[in-house]
Each structure stands twice: as structure tokens, then as C-alpha cells.
Amino acid sequence: MQTVELQLQSDQVSPELRELVLTLLSASKTIADKVRRGALAGVLGSAAQQNVQGETQKKLDVIANDILKQALLASAQVRALASEEEDNVVAANAEGGYVVAFDPLDGSSNIDINGQIGTIFTVYRAQDVASDSPEQFAQPGSAQVCAGYVLYGPSTQLALTTGGPSRLYTLDTDGQYVLTEAELAIAPDCQEYSINMSNQRHWAPDTQGYIQALQAGSEGPRGKDFNMRWNGAMVGDVHRVLMRGGIFLYPANTQSKIHNGKLRLLYEANPMAMLVAHAGGKAISGAQKILDIQPESLHQRVPVILGASNEVDEFSRQHH
């Protein structure tokens, strides 16, 4: 049975990065236990406090954040951490060679309805600046050394790349993450799109035209029918794209608060872009590849269009 520990060794991941990944995975198992027990663990409902995004935090957001933060602060490999739930970079260990950013619980609006939720994480090499400097994370997504998510669904599953193929592991009852897909591969063409249609009136005209062509199906310019899915949790929607293809979109939006899209570059768009790229897919902001974007601020948002390479190219062609 190929566990994630054995796979990291055969992928020749350094002992330091291996230790860091296993620290993250240990924390994910603690979170998975609380998610599974839900109301019985007293983790549902709101925390009656707001995060830097101005969003009301759910109890489980705060609990998951604390579990990951404590685990990483205790790791000799971690120089600093950043989180959707932390206003600023948090210094960890001066000797640490890596910095870690995470969305502790993506899809919070799904928590109280037993929907798909997950933890998204990304790892970069530490920079030669102060441990708690935002410069630690002013690195393009192409500099990520590792990216992954844990999806707390009917199965608890880990999607992970450490620079090689994106691989999928399933958490067994004995607490082992076991390899279940050695190389995820997204077909270049698709017939499924994923977008929150309620925002349609706020999209740019090119985006409206692109989506209308998909809706027109076989009678329209695309000459084939498309299906639509929207989980309300990026981790669930991207997982579906990695498993059965498709295109996921959270495009630019004329609403003032999310004119630049809703998703955050550092701990949502970039790790997902790396996982998708290492499964043969593409991820763009519209103007450029997400992995090429030079970050300007810790919690900056970015439009996200990712998935089947030919479909992402089709979106690009319609956006001059």
C-alpha cells in the first residue's frame, strides 16, 4: 500500500519538506475528525467575529486555523505562515527553510449544510528578509515548491504536488493517506462548466458572451451541449475538474468589493493553479497565467479561470 510518506520518499522530496508536509497532514486529520463530528463537536455556526476579509468567521474557520497555526509554529521547517484568517504574516522559526500559506477551511458557507469544505495549502522557500515580512510571500505561484488541498467530503482526500504530477490520496480508517490516483490528468476538452450564474449581470461583456455560448449548447456556436455544476466551495469544484475535467470560473466582477474576482491569489488561486497545471490543465486570470502573477499584497484577489486546456484557451480567445 503506497502511503503518502512512501510516495514523498520515492519522489525524492527532501527530508525537511517531507517533515513539513506530514505536519500539515497531521493537522488535517485533526480537522477532519472535528468536521466529521460537526454539531456533536460543537464546531458549527458562527464565531461572531470577522476576518481581514470582512467576512463573519464560522467556528470551524477559527478552529481549523488554530490547529494549523499551532502545528506549523511548532515545526523547525517553518520560517513564517500566512492564513486567510490572519491579518498579517506570523513569524515561526528563524531557522525554517520554508513559508506556508493556507486557507484553513475553504467553503465556509457549506459547513452548516454538511457540504464540501476543505483546507488549501501552499509552500514556498523562505526569503532572506525578516521572518514576518510580507515579502516572504511576494513570490509568483511558479515559485511554489508544494501545493495541495484536503477535501473533507464523503471521503477525506488529499490532492498534492511537490513539483511532479498531481497525485490523489484517500484517508484510510487507520489514519494513513493512501495513494489512489498516481497521476491526475485533465482532458483538454470538456462539457462541464462551473460558475456562480447569479453574478452574470456583473460580468464583463466578453465573459457574458462566452457563458451564453456554452448555454446555447449544440444549437449554438459551440455545437455541443454543456452541463453546469457549482459547489460554492472552490476546493469541491476544483476537485471535480481534476477528477472528471471541466472549466471553473470566478471571473472579474463589476461589484466594487470583488471587481478583481473573489478568490485570493496566495492561498486559493496559486495552489489550485499548480495542481491543475501539473495535471495537464491551465489556469489564467484572464490577462495572464495565474502562476506568473507577481503578488502585490498578501490577501489580494484575482479572477480565476482554470481547467481543461483547450477550453481555457477558448475563453482566452474570446477575451481580447
Residues that bind ligand P6P (CB under 6 A): 106-109, 196, 232-234, 250, 262-263
| Shorter beta-carbon distance to ligand P6P: residue 99 or 234 | 234
| Shorter beta-carbon distance to ligand P6P: residue 109 or 155 | 109
Min separation Cβ 131 and ligand P6P, Å: 28
| Residue 139 CB neighbours (<10 A) | 18
**Contact present, 306 and 185 (Cβ < 8 Å):** no
| Shorter beta-carbon distance to ligand P6P: residue 120 or 158 | 120
Min separation Cβ 200 and ligand P6P, Å: 12
Min separation Cβ 108 and ligand P6P, Å: 6
| Shorter beta-carbon distance to ligand P6P: residue 106 or 311 | 106
Min separation Cβ 148 and ligand P6P, Å: 15
SS3 readout for the chain: CCEHHHHHHHCCCCHHHHHHHHHHHHHHHHHHHHHHHHHHHCCCCEEEEECCCCCEEEHHHHHHHHHHHHHHHCCCCEEEEEECCCCCCEECCCCCCEEEEEEEEECHHHHHHCCCEEEEEEEEECCCCCCCCHHHHCCCHHHCCEEEEEEECCCEEEEEECCCCCEEEEECCCCCEEEEECCCCCCCCCCEEECCHHHHHHCCHHHHHHHHHHHHHHHCCCCCCCEECCCCCHHHHHHHHHHHCCEEEECCCCCHHHCCCCCEHHHHHHHHHHHHHCCCCEEECCCCEHHHCCCCCCCCECCEEEECHHHHHHHHHCCC
Min separation Cβ 236 and ligand P6P, Å: 8
| Shorter beta-carbon distance to ligand P6P: residue 158 or 233 | 233
Min separation Cβ 233 and ligand P6P, Å: 5
**Contact present, 132 and 96 (Cβ < 8 Å):** no
Min separation Cβ 172 and ligand P6P, Å: 26
User: How far apart are alpha carbons 21 and 15 in whole angstroms?
Assistant: 10
Residue 267: name the closest of 91, 90, 13, 81 by CA.
Answer: 81
| Shorter beta-carbon distance to ligand P6P: residue 160 or 234 | 234
Min separation Cβ 312 and ligand P6P, Å: 17
| Shorter beta-carbon distance to ligand P6P: residue 34 or 262 | 262
| Shorter beta-carbon distance to ligand P6P: residue 237 or 314 | 237
* Residue whose CB is nearest to ligand P6P in the complex, by number: 234
